[in-house]
Amino acid sequence: MIKFTTEDIEMPALDERKIGRWIRAVAADYGFTVGNINYIFCSDERELAVNREFLGHDYYTDVITFDYSTASTLNGDIFISLDTVRSNAEMVHTTFEHELHRILIHGVLHLTGQGDKTPETKEQMTAKEEKALAKLG
């Protein structure tokens, strides 16, 4: 089950069925099925509070992924700051929708085990995001 909720911000316009099919297809590409993935859309301030409380990080970010996956099933909570998604979209000259889709799949890729802490893994993550976005159309 893929669930979309908000904490302190309005729900973005999403075609939840289409996004759900896409996420399941990308998960399958990596040999996983989807169990329970909870997307929590929030503001920068809420994302910062989550980052501080659970990860001990004192900075803003676009996505925080909590991974509860098993060997073959993706499960997790994915917090997404819509404020940062919006500002990132402006910074890279793309639409909010495109950037939101990129961040939605970024969280899923983390659940599959993809990291992004080094320049090499960040480059790999970007390539995987682009491949997944092409699949969405």
The 10s digit of each residue's pLDDT in 81-124 is 999 999 999 999 999 999 999 999 999 999 999 999 999 999 99
Please, what are the domains in the chain?
2-136 (3.40.390.30)
Radius of gyration of the chain (CA): 14
Q: Indicate the pLDDT class of residue 132, thresholds 50, 70 and 90.
A: very high
Q: What is the 3-state secondary structure (H, E, C) of 45-61?
A: HHHHHHHHHHHCCCCCC
pLDDT in tens, 11-23: 999 999 999 999 9
> pTM for the full model?
0.94
45 has a pLDDT exceeding 80: yes
Cα 55 from Cα 17, distance rounded (Å): 31
Q: Indicate the pLDDT class of residue 3, thresholds 50, 70 and 90.
A: very high
Do 80 and 40 meet the contact criterion of CB atoms below 8 Å apart? yes
